[in-house]
Amino acid sequence: MEKLTLIVEILKLLIKTNSTLSTGELHSKLYSEGILPPTDDRVARRKLLRALNTLLELGYLEEVGDGKVKRWKLNQDRFKFLSSYTRDELISLIVLFSFFPSHYRDLPFFRKAFEAISRFEKELNDEERELLRFSFERIPNVNERCVNLEPELFKSIISTILENKGAYLQYRGKVYKLFPVKFFTYNGLFYIGALTPKGYRNFLVSRIEHYEPLNQEISLDEKKKKVKETFEIPDEEPFLFGALLPDSYATEKEIERGIKFSPYQFFIEKRKGGIAVYLVGFTGKRFASWFLTEKVLELYPPDTEIIEMAKNFGVKELVPKLTFQLQVNRQRFKTFKATALKILKGRLRVFKKN
Protein backbone atom coordinates (compact mmCIF):
# COMPACT_ATOMS: atom_id res chain seq x y z
CA MET A 1 0.00 0.00 0.00
CA GLU A 2 2.90 2.33 0.86
CA LYS A 3 4.48 1.73 -2.56
CA LEU A 4 1.18 2.37 -4.34
CA THR A 5 0.78 5.67 -2.48
CA LEU A 6 4.29 6.70 -3.51
CA ILE A 7 3.60 5.81 -7.15
CA VAL A 8 0.44 7.91 -7.16
CA GLU A 9 2.25 10.88 -5.60
CA ILE A 10 5.05 10.62 -8.19
CA LEU A 11 2.52 10.71 -11.02
CA LYS A 12 0.66 13.64 -9.45
CA LEU A 13 3.90 15.57 -9.10
CA LEU A 14 5.04 14.98 -12.69
CA ILE A 15 1.61 15.92 -14.02
CA LYS A 16 1.59 19.09 -11.93
CA THR A 17 5.10 20.24 -12.92
CA ASN A 18 4.66 19.20 -16.58
CA SER A 19 8.44 18.90 -17.03
CA THR A 20 11.32 16.45 -16.58
CA LEU A 21 12.70 15.98 -13.06
CA SER A 22 15.81 14.27 -11.77
CA THR A 23 15.60 11.64 -9.03
CA GLY A 24 17.00 14.16 -6.57
CA GLU A 25 14.48 16.84 -7.59
CA LEU A 26 11.63 14.35 -7.20
CA HIS A 27 12.87 13.33 -3.78
CA SER A 28 13.21 16.96 -2.68
CA LYS A 29 9.68 17.85 -3.81
CA LEU A 30 8.18 14.72 -2.25
CA TYR A 31 9.96 15.57 0.98
CA SER A 32 8.58 19.13 0.95
CA GLU A 33 5.08 17.69 0.58
CA GLY A 34 5.59 15.28 3.48
CA ILE A 35 5.58 12.12 1.36
CA LEU A 36 9.22 11.03 1.92
CA PRO A 37 11.92 11.58 4.56
CA PRO A 38 14.81 14.01 3.74
CA THR A 39 16.94 13.45 0.63
CA ASP A 40 19.87 12.10 2.65
CA ASP A 41 17.74 9.14 3.81
CA ARG A 42 19.12 6.20 1.80
CA VAL A 43 16.17 3.90 2.56
CA ALA A 44 13.76 6.53 1.24
CA ARG A 45 15.91 7.00 -1.88
CA ARG A 46 15.83 3.24 -2.59
CA LYS A 47 12.02 3.22 -2.21
CA LEU A 48 11.79 6.11 -4.65
CA LEU A 49 14.03 4.40 -7.21
CA ARG A 50 12.02 1.15 -6.98
CA ALA A 51 8.78 3.08 -7.55
CA LEU A 52 10.30 4.96 -10.51
CA ASN A 53 11.61 1.76 -12.10
CA THR A 54 8.20 0.13 -11.68
CA LEU A 55 6.55 3.03 -13.52
CA LEU A 56 9.27 2.83 -16.18
CA GLU A 57 8.68 -0.92 -16.70
CA LEU A 58 4.92 -0.36 -16.97
CA GLY A 59 5.47 2.33 -19.60
CA TYR A 60 4.08 5.23 -17.56
CA LEU A 61 7.42 7.03 -17.34
CA GLU A 62 10.29 7.69 -19.71
CA GLU A 63 13.94 8.09 -18.75
CA VAL A 64 15.68 10.99 -20.48
CA GLY A 65 19.10 12.62 -20.32
CA ASP A 66 22.71 11.79 -21.07
CA GLY A 67 22.90 8.83 -18.69
CA LYS A 68 24.92 10.58 -15.96
CA VAL A 69 21.87 12.06 -14.24
CA LYS A 70 18.59 10.24 -14.52
CA ARG A 71 15.66 12.48 -15.41
CA TRP A 72 12.08 11.35 -15.54
CA LYS A 73 9.06 12.44 -17.55
CA LEU A 74 5.56 11.16 -18.20
CA ASN A 75 4.96 8.98 -21.24
CA GLN A 76 2.32 11.18 -22.85
CA ASP A 77 0.98 8.29 -24.93
CA ARG A 78 -0.23 6.69 -21.69
CA PHE A 79 -1.86 9.92 -20.49
CA LYS A 80 -3.58 11.29 -23.59
CA PHE A 81 -6.81 12.09 -21.78
CA LEU A 82 -5.41 12.90 -18.35
CA SER A 83 -5.93 16.49 -17.24
CA SER A 84 -4.41 18.15 -14.23
CA TYR A 85 -5.63 21.44 -12.81
CA THR A 86 -5.86 23.20 -9.50
CA ARG A 87 -9.10 24.47 -8.01
CA ASP A 88 -8.09 28.07 -8.76
CA GLU A 89 -7.29 27.16 -12.40
CA LEU A 90 -10.70 25.51 -12.78
CA ILE A 91 -12.56 28.53 -11.41
CA SER A 92 -10.48 30.83 -13.62
CA LEU A 93 -11.41 28.76 -16.71
CA ILE A 94 -15.12 28.78 -15.84
CA VAL A 95 -15.08 32.56 -15.39
CA LEU A 96 -13.13 33.00 -18.66
CA PHE A 97 -15.60 30.84 -20.60
CA SER A 98 -18.53 32.80 -19.17
CA PHE A 99 -17.33 35.79 -21.23
CA PHE A 100 -17.52 33.82 -24.50
CA PRO A 101 -20.32 35.04 -26.87
CA SER A 102 -23.44 32.97 -26.14
CA HIS A 103 -24.54 32.84 -29.79
CA TYR A 104 -21.46 30.81 -30.76
CA ARG A 105 -21.39 28.37 -27.84
CA ASP A 106 -23.52 25.80 -29.65
CA LEU A 107 -21.09 25.41 -32.53
CA PRO A 108 -19.83 21.80 -32.17
CA PHE A 109 -16.19 22.90 -32.24
CA PHE A 110 -16.63 25.21 -29.23
CA ARG A 111 -19.19 23.02 -27.49
CA LYS A 112 -16.46 20.44 -26.86
CA ALA A 113 -14.63 22.95 -24.69
CA PHE A 114 -17.75 23.73 -22.68
CA GLU A 115 -18.46 20.02 -22.25
CA ALA A 116 -14.92 19.52 -20.94
CA ILE A 117 -15.39 22.33 -18.43
CA SER A 118 -18.68 20.75 -17.32
CA ARG A 119 -16.83 17.50 -16.60
CA PHE A 120 -14.21 19.30 -14.56
CA GLU A 121 -16.93 21.08 -12.55
CA LYS A 122 -17.44 17.91 -10.52
CA GLU A 123 -14.72 19.28 -8.24
CA LEU A 124 -17.17 22.00 -7.14
CA ASN A 125 -20.35 21.59 -5.12
CA ASP A 126 -23.79 22.59 -6.42
CA GLU A 127 -23.82 25.94 -4.63
CA GLU A 128 -20.40 26.90 -6.04
CA ARG A 129 -21.43 26.00 -9.60
CA GLU A 130 -24.66 27.99 -9.23
CA LEU A 131 -22.79 30.98 -7.85
CA LEU A 132 -20.35 30.98 -10.78
CA ARG A 133 -23.13 30.74 -13.38
CA PHE A 134 -25.11 33.52 -11.70
CA SER A 135 -22.23 35.92 -11.04
CA PHE A 136 -20.33 36.08 -14.31
CA GLU A 137 -21.71 36.81 -17.78
CA ARG A 138 -20.96 38.64 -20.97
CA ILE A 139 -23.24 41.51 -22.03
CA PRO A 140 -22.98 42.13 -25.80
CA ASN A 141 -22.68 45.60 -27.28
CA VAL A 142 -25.90 46.94 -28.79
CA ASN A 143 -24.22 47.09 -32.22
CA GLU A 144 -22.51 43.70 -32.00
CA ARG A 145 -23.36 41.39 -34.88
CA CYS A 146 -23.87 37.65 -34.99
CA VAL A 147 -24.87 35.10 -37.60
CA ASN A 148 -25.68 31.39 -37.64
CA LEU A 149 -22.81 29.42 -39.18
CA GLU A 150 -22.81 25.98 -40.74
CA PRO A 151 -20.99 23.67 -38.29
CA GLU A 152 -19.34 21.65 -41.06
CA LEU A 153 -18.01 24.77 -42.77
CA PHE A 154 -16.63 26.04 -39.48
CA LYS A 155 -14.97 22.70 -38.73
CA SER A 156 -13.54 22.43 -42.24
CA ILE A 157 -11.95 25.89 -42.10
CA ILE A 158 -10.28 25.18 -38.75
CA SER A 159 -9.02 21.78 -39.94
CA THR A 160 -7.57 23.32 -43.10
CA ILE A 161 -5.68 25.95 -41.10
CA LEU A 162 -4.34 23.46 -38.54
CA GLU A 163 -3.20 21.09 -41.30
CA ASN A 164 -1.58 23.93 -43.31
CA LYS A 165 -3.65 23.04 -46.38
CA GLY A 166 -5.23 25.04 -49.15
CA ALA A 167 -8.84 25.23 -50.31
CA TYR A 168 -11.18 26.21 -53.11
CA LEU A 169 -13.61 28.86 -51.95
CA GLN A 170 -16.73 30.20 -53.66
CA TYR A 171 -17.43 33.72 -52.46
CA ARG A 172 -20.01 36.10 -53.90
CA GLY A 173 -20.22 34.07 -57.05
CA LYS A 174 -16.45 33.87 -57.66
CA VAL A 175 -14.13 30.90 -57.06
CA TYR A 176 -10.78 31.42 -55.33
CA LYS A 177 -7.89 29.04 -54.79
CA LEU A 178 -6.24 30.03 -51.53
CA PHE A 179 -4.41 29.11 -48.34
CA PRO A 180 -6.30 30.14 -45.16
CA VAL A 181 -3.76 31.44 -42.65
CA LYS A 182 -5.81 33.45 -40.15
CA PHE A 183 -9.18 32.90 -38.46
CA PHE A 184 -10.37 35.88 -36.42
CA THR A 185 -13.43 37.75 -35.18
CA TYR A 186 -14.33 41.37 -35.64
CA ASN A 187 -17.47 42.97 -34.26
CA GLY A 188 -19.01 39.55 -33.54
CA LEU A 189 -18.41 38.07 -37.00
CA PHE A 190 -15.83 35.49 -38.12
CA TYR A 191 -13.33 36.12 -40.91
CA ILE A 192 -10.59 34.11 -42.54
CA GLY A 193 -7.44 35.77 -43.82
CA ALA A 194 -6.05 33.89 -46.80
CA LEU A 195 -3.20 33.97 -49.28
CA THR A 196 -4.50 34.14 -52.84
CA PRO A 197 -2.56 34.39 -56.13
CA LYS A 198 -3.15 38.16 -55.94
CA GLY A 199 -1.99 38.51 -52.34
CA TYR A 200 -3.48 38.52 -48.85
CA ARG A 201 -7.24 39.00 -48.51
CA ASN A 202 -9.96 38.66 -45.84
CA PHE A 203 -13.21 36.76 -46.38
CA LEU A 204 -16.33 37.03 -44.22
CA VAL A 205 -17.18 33.43 -43.24
CA SER A 206 -20.95 33.96 -43.35
CA ARG A 207 -20.68 34.89 -47.05
CA ILE A 208 -18.77 31.77 -48.12
CA GLU A 209 -20.97 29.81 -50.52
CA HIS A 210 -18.78 26.71 -50.88
CA TYR A 211 -15.55 25.52 -49.26
CA GLU A 212 -13.50 22.55 -50.45
CA PRO A 213 -10.14 21.64 -48.84
CA LEU A 214 -7.15 20.78 -51.05
CA ASN A 215 -4.19 18.48 -50.43
CA GLN A 216 -1.69 21.23 -51.24
CA GLU A 217 0.21 22.42 -48.18
CA ILE A 218 2.03 25.54 -47.03
CA SER A 219 4.51 25.75 -44.16
CA LEU A 220 4.06 27.88 -41.07
CA ASP A 221 7.21 29.81 -41.99
CA GLU A 222 5.69 30.71 -45.36
CA LYS A 223 2.52 31.90 -43.64
CA LYS A 224 4.48 34.14 -41.28
CA LYS A 225 6.52 35.67 -44.09
CA LYS A 226 3.52 36.54 -46.23
CA VAL A 227 1.05 37.77 -43.62
CA LYS A 228 1.85 41.07 -41.94
CA GLU A 229 -1.54 42.32 -40.82
CA THR A 230 -4.71 40.49 -39.81
CA PHE A 231 -7.29 43.00 -40.97
CA GLU A 232 -5.75 44.91 -43.85
CA ILE A 233 -8.23 47.15 -45.66
CA PRO A 234 -7.06 49.11 -48.75
CA ASP A 235 -8.59 52.50 -47.87
CA GLU A 236 -7.41 52.47 -44.24
CA GLU A 237 -4.22 54.38 -43.52
CA PRO A 238 -3.08 55.06 -39.93
CA PHE A 239 -2.50 58.54 -38.52
CA LEU A 240 -1.91 60.17 -35.14
CA PHE A 241 -4.29 62.57 -33.45
CA GLY A 242 -5.89 63.40 -30.10
CA ALA A 243 -9.30 64.00 -28.60
CA LEU A 244 -10.82 65.55 -25.49
CA LEU A 245 -13.40 63.38 -23.77
CA PRO A 246 -15.84 64.34 -20.96
CA ASP A 247 -14.69 64.11 -17.34
CA SER A 248 -17.38 61.47 -16.77
CA TYR A 249 -15.52 59.04 -19.06
CA ALA A 250 -12.99 58.05 -16.39
CA THR A 251 -12.11 58.59 -12.74
CA GLU A 252 -8.61 59.52 -11.59
CA LYS A 253 -8.11 55.95 -10.38
CA GLU A 254 -9.04 54.58 -13.82
CA ILE A 255 -6.62 57.01 -15.46
CA GLU A 256 -3.86 55.86 -13.07
CA ARG A 257 -4.62 52.28 -14.09
CA GLY A 258 -4.18 53.16 -17.77
CA ILE A 259 -7.79 52.89 -18.98
CA LYS A 260 -8.08 52.70 -22.77
CA PHE A 261 -10.97 53.83 -24.93
CA SER A 262 -9.34 52.29 -27.99
CA PRO A 263 -6.76 49.50 -28.36
CA TYR A 264 -4.74 52.07 -30.35
CA GLN A 265 -4.67 54.67 -27.56
CA PHE A 266 -1.17 55.33 -26.18
CA PHE A 267 -1.63 58.35 -23.87
CA ILE A 268 -4.25 59.64 -21.42
CA GLU A 269 -4.21 62.69 -19.16
CA LYS A 270 -6.68 64.68 -17.05
CA ARG A 271 -6.87 68.25 -18.31
CA LYS A 272 -8.96 71.33 -17.75
CA GLY A 273 -12.33 70.66 -19.35
CA GLY A 274 -11.98 66.91 -19.80
CA ILE A 275 -9.75 63.92 -20.42
CA ALA A 276 -7.19 64.12 -23.22
CA VAL A 277 -6.24 60.98 -25.14
CA TYR A 278 -3.75 60.44 -27.96
CA LEU A 279 -4.35 57.54 -30.30
CA VAL A 280 -3.90 56.08 -33.75
CA GLY A 281 -6.83 56.64 -36.08
CA PHE A 282 -7.52 55.20 -39.53
CA THR A 283 -8.87 56.69 -42.70
CA GLY A 284 -11.88 54.85 -44.08
CA LYS A 285 -15.47 54.28 -42.91
CA ARG A 286 -14.82 51.66 -40.25
CA PHE A 287 -12.93 53.86 -37.78
CA ALA A 288 -14.93 57.02 -38.55
CA SER A 289 -18.22 55.22 -37.93
CA TRP A 290 -17.05 53.98 -34.53
CA PHE A 291 -15.63 57.36 -33.55
CA LEU A 292 -18.96 59.07 -34.16
CA THR A 293 -20.51 56.99 -31.38
CA GLU A 294 -18.20 58.59 -28.79
CA LYS A 295 -19.00 61.86 -27.04
CA VAL A 296 -15.97 63.90 -28.12
CA LEU A 297 -15.63 67.50 -26.93
CA GLU A 298 -12.67 68.49 -29.09
CA LEU A 299 -10.26 67.07 -31.67
CA TYR A 300 -6.49 67.60 -31.56
CA PRO A 301 -4.93 67.55 -35.06
CA PRO A 302 -1.53 65.82 -35.41
CA ASP A 303 1.33 67.94 -34.09
CA THR A 304 4.96 67.50 -33.05
CA GLU A 305 4.03 66.78 -29.41
CA ILE A 306 1.70 63.91 -30.34
CA ILE A 307 4.26 62.49 -32.78
CA GLU A 308 7.10 62.61 -30.21
CA MET A 309 4.84 60.97 -27.64
CA ALA A 310 4.03 58.19 -30.12
CA LYS A 311 7.75 57.64 -30.77
CA ASN A 312 8.49 57.39 -27.05
CA PHE A 313 5.72 54.85 -26.52
CA GLY A 314 6.85 52.68 -29.45
CA VAL A 315 3.49 52.94 -31.21
CA LYS A 316 5.00 51.93 -34.55
CA GLU A 317 5.49 48.41 -33.18
CA LEU A 318 1.71 48.20 -32.70
CA VAL A 319 0.93 49.77 -36.08
CA PRO A 320 3.87 49.11 -38.47
CA LYS A 321 2.32 51.12 -41.34
CA LEU A 322 2.25 54.27 -39.21
CA THR A 323 4.47 57.17 -40.30
CA PHE A 324 5.85 59.97 -38.12
CA GLN A 325 5.85 62.51 -40.96
CA LEU A 326 3.75 65.42 -39.73
CA GLN A 327 2.39 66.42 -43.14
CA VAL A 328 1.26 62.87 -43.96
CA ASN A 329 -0.50 62.57 -40.61
CA ARG A 330 -2.28 65.88 -41.12
CA GLN A 331 -3.47 64.86 -44.58
CA ARG A 332 -4.84 61.55 -43.27
CA PHE A 333 -6.50 63.35 -40.35
CA LYS A 334 -8.21 65.63 -42.87
CA THR A 335 -9.40 62.59 -44.85
CA PHE A 336 -10.76 61.05 -41.63
CA LYS A 337 -12.77 64.18 -40.82
CA ALA A 338 -14.20 64.32 -44.33
CA THR A 339 -15.26 60.67 -44.09
CA ALA A 340 -16.86 61.21 -40.66
CA LEU A 341 -18.79 64.26 -41.93
CA LYS A 342 -20.04 62.29 -44.93
CA ILE A 343 -21.30 59.49 -42.67
CA LEU A 344 -22.89 62.02 -40.32
CA LYS A 345 -24.71 63.80 -43.16
CA GLY A 346 -26.07 60.47 -44.39
CA ARG A 347 -27.40 59.64 -40.94
CA LEU A 348 -28.97 63.06 -40.56
CA ARG A 349 -30.85 62.55 -43.85
CA VAL A 350 -32.27 59.29 -42.53
CA PHE A 351 -33.46 60.82 -39.24
CA LYS A 352 -34.99 63.83 -40.96
CA LYS A 353 -37.18 61.67 -43.20
CA ASN A 354 -39.66 60.67 -40.48
Tens of pLDDT, residue by residue over 325-346, are 999 999 999 999 999 999 999 9
- The residues spanned by each domain of the chain are 2-78, 87-135, 151-226, 238-351
Dist CA 152 CA 139 (whole Å): 28
Structural domain 151-226, CATH architecture? Roll (2.30)
Q: Which residues contact 7 (CB under 8 A, 6 or more apart)?
A: 51, 54, 55
Q: Does 125 have pLDDT greater than 70?
A: yes
Third-level CATH fold of 2-78? Arc Repressor Mutant, subunit A (1.10.10)
pLDDT tens sequence across 188-199: 889 999 999 888
Distances (CA, A) of 153 to 70, 179, 182, 210: 48, 15, 15, 8
pLDDT tens sequence across 126-172: 899 899 989 999 888 777 788 888 899 999 999 999 999 999 999 99
Query: Looking at residues 161-186, what average pLDDT do you find?
Result: 93
Torsion sign over Cα 195, 201, 206, 207: negative
pLDDT band at 229 (very low <50, low <70, confident <90, very high): low
Mean pLDDT, the chain, integer: 88
Distances (CA, A) of 351 to 333, 344, 345, 346: 27, 11, 10, 9
pLDDT tens sequence across 265-290: 999 999 999 999 999 999 989 899 98
pLDDT tens sequence across 11-40: 888 877 778 888 888 998 888 888 888 888
Q: Does 1 have pLDDT greater than 50?
A: no
Q: Does 79 have pLDDT greater than 70?
A: no
Query: Looking at residues 68-93, what average pLDDT do you find?
Result: 76
Query: Looking at residues 96-121, what average pLDDT do you find?
Result: 85
Contacts of 217-224 with CB under 8 Å at 24 or more apart are: 217/163, 217/164, 217/165, 217/166, 218/164, 218/165, 218/166, 218/179, 218/181, 219/164, 220/164, 223/164, 223/179, 223/181, 223/195
pLDDT at position 31 is 86
Q: Does 174 have pLDDT greater than 90?
A: yes
pLDDT at position 168 is 95
